[in-house]
Amino acid sequence: MNRLLLATLALGLMLGCSSGPTKTTETAAPAPKTTDQRTGRSAFQKLYVAAHGWGRDAQPYRLESQVTGDSNGRDGKSAVWRSGFASAAQRGTKPYTWSGSTDPNAPERDVTPGNEDTYNPSNSSTKVFDIAFLKVDSDKAFEVAQQHGGSKLPADTPVFYVLDWSTPTSQLVWHVIFGQSRDTPKLRVAVDASKGDFIRVEK
């Protein structure tokens, strides 16, 4: 009889424990990444810091944007920017890319370095410039380009940006390029990157 009573009590305790609320562990799904679009100067700051980790004397010779599936370069912003740097101490050049794109075909997010190459100071394609000349951002350059033909193009026309030094005029120049390809543009406008003045429509 005592055994029967003990068995009954034990069964009751087991049922009582199992009838309580069950706890479930739920893992929150990570928030989807959003596209980070930046103006040229904003992205360049990140690239400049990275380049100085490679060479303390590194100076830029080119900054350019890339059109992606989630960023067409309108309003002076892009989700991918790439800059080339030259270092006399390292005797080389090295590109760095910043990406805030979620496009699977775009470069990896954040700042990534490229392959180092030899540096020839007399090469016009790697003519370095002082960053103090960069006073006008790509969004302002876009506004100027809009006033000189850009606004007449379809509003969804992709826009590329290239920043480099013009040796003949001793100017730092934004080249605002409208079209599906920078090699065959619908319009190409040069803007002074120090003053924000319209220079010319480039052929």
pLDDT at 1 over 60: no
What pLDDT shows up at residue 29?
65
162 CB neighbour count, 10 Å cutoff = 17
For residues 137 and 41, the answer to whether their CB atoms sit within 8 Å is yes
How many other CB atoms sit within 10 Å of the CB of residue 197? 12
Q: Quote the CA–CA distance of 197 and 140 in Å, as a whole number.
A: 10
Residue 26 confidence class, pLDDT cut points 50, 70, 90: low
State residue 15's pLDDT score. 46
Q: Per-residue pLDDT for 142 more than 60?
A: yes
Q: Does position 6 have pLDDT exceeding 90, yes or no?
A: no
Range name among 19-23, 61-65, 99-103, 110-114 with the lowest pLDDT average:
19-23
Q: What is the model's pTM?
A: 0.84
Indicate whether 170 pLDDT > 50.
yes
3-state secondary structure (DSSP) of residue 51: helix
What's the confidence (pLDDT) of residue 33?
Answer: 83
Assign 9 a pLDDT band (cuts: 50, 70, 90): very low
What pLDDT is attached to residue 165? Answer: 96
Taking only the tens place, the pLDDT of each residue in 45-61 is 999 999 999 999 999 99
Find the mean pLDDT for residues 106-131: 94
pLDDT of residue 19: 47
Residue 101 has pLDDT above 90, yes or no: yes
- The rounded distance, in Å, linking the Cα atoms of 197 and 149 is 15
| Model confidence at 2: pLDDT above 80 | no
